[in-house]
Amino acid sequence: MTEIYFSSKYTLLYILKEEEEEEEEEEEEGGGGGGGGGGGGGGEEGGEEEEEGEGEEEEKKKKKKKKKKKKKKKKKKEEEEKEEEEEEEEEEEEEEEEEEEKKKKKKKKKKKKKKKKKKKKKKG
């Protein structure tokens, strides 16, 4: 397995699960056998036609597999982008909250100062 760095453990689990599924699919497709031979009584022409048919089937399977892989990659990329966006949004929200807290503290401090001033004025 190649080394990849992930932003969260959930992404890692998702990708590992995908890899397992791909391996299972490859095992299922590989275990299908050779296709049953050349047909015995048809002679050379019959055997050639069957080989061509098998070649076309293999090509179709390969194309289908490529399409599936491409689709999975696209889906995986979209998931990662979505996750990154969510993380950015969370960070922005945290920053906003921090700013609000700072403003509240500043306001409180100002109020306290004002109160102290009023008390001093009353005493003096």
Cα 39 to Cα 88: distance, rounded to the nearest angstrom? 62
pLDDT digits (tens, 9 = 90+) for 28-48: 776 555 544 445 455 545 555
Percent of the chain past pLDDT 70, that is, above it, reads: 69
**Chain center to CA of 94:** 24
Cα 54 to Cα 42: distance, rounded to the nearest angstrom? 16
What pLDDT is attached to residue 1?
47
